[in-house]
Amino acid sequence: MSNATGTILRAFGTILCLIIFWYFVVSIIYFVITLVLGFEFDLRVSLALFVVFTIFRMFYPKNVFI
Amino acid sequence: MELQKAGTGLPNMERVFIKRILVPIVRTFFTWEIALFMVKREVSIITNLTKDISQIDMQKQIIIDRTFAIEDDSRRFSIDMVLEHLVIAGALVKDTIKSLSSETVPPQEIKIEDVKPFENSTEALEKFLVFYQTYFDMIETLPKKQSIATKKHPWFVSFNNFDWSIFMYMHTFIHRRQIEEIISKLKEIHE
């Protein structure tokens, strides 16, 4: 494997780790809320919350595409 | 081998990939703390990579294959030159972050040619470690507020103070990979 390919793979590996990290952060908060309010943890809801969180991060505190 | 001159920039595909894909993704998932943690990790990796290399090898300039996000001219750097470049460019980034944090745009234009190494000094590693410690100290005491003021990177888009702190990580990472490639070529020479 070339150094350049290795660098790109490492960059995506880092991003993947961050995505997993933020998914766990969102899911743990959601899990605590389910315990406090006494309803069931739903995987689809946790994924939906993560998508909402990601979209929120894309535009606040600044638009990441500009 | 004839290399392109300093300031030529990255191949267009690579530049667009970084500008349109990598920059938005890292902006989304990084925080000040994550960026600082990652820079510290890179400095630790570079320290470990270079600790057993002789001074002669540290200063030896060999042409390596192009590595990702490094312009052609930088392919002939020695390890000491890479470290020197990290200090020169890092000092500029550090000043830019500090300035943007007080909503002041640094007046001078950032030029790639201006951050090229010129000494190939034996003290490069020591200077590198001292500089990065000052960078860590500055970021740790900086109010973690994203600035409205921005400063354009010559290859990419306009960055605010937070974006420059992520850039500091990406830049150190890219050059750590360059050091790894130089070490691998040095090993080939010694075999």
pTM value? 0.93
Are the beta carbons of B115 and B122 closer than 8 angstroms? no
In the numeric block, the tokens 């994550």 are attached to B34
ipTM of the complex as predicted:
0.91
Domains and CATH numbers, chain B: 12-190 (1.20.120.450)
| Chain A interface disruption, residue of B15, B28, B34, B188, most A CBs within 10 A | B28
Amino acid sitting at position B118 = F
Contact B178, B137 (CB under 8 A): no
A60-65: long-range pairs with CB below 8 Å, 24+: A61/B146, A62/B27, A62/B146, A62/B160, A64/B23, A64/B24, A64/B27, A64/B28, A65/B24
pLDDT for residue B120 is more than 70: yes
pLDDT above 70 for B174: yes
Judge whether B122 and B59 are in contact, CB under 8 Å: yes
Quote the pLDDT of residue B41: 97
Quick one: average pLDDT of A25-36? 97
Q: What is the pLDDT of residue B10?
A: 86
- pLDDT of residue B5 exceeding 90, the answer is no
Work out the burial of residue A52: count CB atoms within 10 Å of its CB; fewer than 13 is exposed, 13-18 middle, 19 or more buried: exposed
Helix residue spans in chain B (DSSP H)? 12-17, 23-29, 32-50, 55-59, 79-101, 124-141, 161-190
The beta-carbon neighbor of A11 closest among B22, B34, B160 is B22
pLDDT surpassing 80 at residue B6? no
The tokens of B33 are what?
Answer: 């703390």
Q: State the residue for tokens 């294959």.
A: B65
pLDDT at B92: 95
For A19, nearest residue in chain B (alpha carbons)? B29
Give tens-digit pLDDT for A51-66.
999 999 999 888 899 8
Predicted confidence band of residue B155 (pLDDT cuts 50, 70, 90): confident
The whole-number pLDDT of residue B154 equals 85
Min distance A38 CA to chain B CA atoms (Å): 31
Residue B8's pLDDT is what? 78
At residue B3, what is the residue type? L
Distance in angstroms (rounded) separating the CA atoms of residues B119 and B182: 18
C-alpha angle with apex B47: B95 to B32, nearest 5 degrees? 40
Per-residue pLDDT at B7 exceeds 80: no
Of B145, B169, B184, B138, whose CA–CA distance to B41 is shortest? B169
Q: How far is B37 from chain A (nearest CA, A)?
A: 13
**Which of B80-94, B105-119, B127-141 is the least confident region?**
B105-119
- When comparing pLDDT for B191 and B27, which is higher? B27
* Nearest C-alpha neighbor of B107 from the set B121, B95, B122: B95
Residues of A in contact with B160 (CB under 8 A): 62
Percent of chain B whose predicted confidence (pLDDT) is above 90: 75
- Calculate the alpha carbon distances from B14 to A6, B71, B181 in Å: 15, 10, 19
Region A34-57 average pLDDT: 96
Q: Per-residue pLDDT for B1 more than 80?
A: no
